[in-house]
Amino acid sequence: MIALQVEQVGHHYGKRPIFEEVRFSLELGDVLACVGRNGSGKSTLLRIIAGLLTPRAGTITLLCDGTASSAPEWRRLHSGYCAPEVALYDELTIDELARFHAACRGIEPTALSPLLEESGLADVSRASIGELSSGMLQRLKLALAFACSPALIILDEPSTNLDQRGIATLHKWIERARKDAIIIIATNLETELPWCNCRYDLEARTFSHAWSNARALADHE
């Protein structure tokens, strides 16, 4: 079983509050759209959920592998994360970075091969990261986030710099991964919202199930 409980989470920078009293629960198979205008705190909330930033208030508990823990280290261990601020090593090739990532996550080096193939990066695996276009770099970040089938996949504006083929591949990965994970997407894009079956509005502090989107996905399948 996989579940995520976000309870009364709040954060502020200095004296300026970003958000407060954020609370929702997610279960295996849920894909959450975190929505709100620019500056509402979507990226900050995702960093907190990923265990990369400590909230000023509240707790986040992840249940997976038979253990429930609110420790940020536990979430980092079981999360895949893709965001604009994620930096990669420009000097490494795609192949070298894939092997390094696999070693850090304790998975086989070949675990990334199918993702690199599907994203069109396998043919340029010897290219250095610094030579990649913005779209290719985004596809690589996404491949790293989905590698090793994490229980929690956190994607901040994942369609950024992607062409139609890249967006189609991303959607394919989300649909495949949601069978074994919880996925959270920070987005305001109308093209991404239908991928999600529930939604959290940071400005209104409301959580809702997007039943129409869920039905549309079911009909599509």
pLDDT of 99 strictly over 60 = yes
Assign residue 195 the CATH number of its domain: 3.40.50.300
Q: Is residue 18 in a domain?
A: yes
Q: Which candidate, 129, 161, 127, 164, places its Cα nearest to that of 144? A: 129
User: How many domains is the chain partitioned into structurally?
Assistant: 1
pLDDT of 67 strictly over 90 = yes
**Three-class secondary structure of residue 22 per DSSP:** strand
Q: Is residue 32 in a domain?
A: yes
* pLDDT at 109 (0 to 100): 80
Distance in angstroms (rounded) separating the CA atoms of residues 217 and 181: 17
Q: Is residue 102 in a domain?
A: no
Q: Is residue 65 in a domain?
A: yes
The residues, any chain, with a CB within 8 Å of residue 68's CB and separated by 6 or more, are 3, 61, 62
Mean pLDDT on 64-86: 96
* pLDDT at 210 (0 to 100): 67
Longest alpha-carbon distance in the chain:
50
**Three-class secondary structure of residue 56 per DSSP:** coil
Residue-wise pLDDT for 108-131, tens only, equals 888 899 999 999 999 999 999 999
Q: Is residue 145 in a domain?
A: no
Structural domain of 32? 3-87+151-220
Residue-wise pLDDT for 135-164, tens only, equals 999 999 999 999 989 999 999 999 999 999
Q: Is residue 95 in a domain?
A: no
* pLDDT at 209 (0 to 100): 86
Q: Is residue 142 in a domain?
A: no
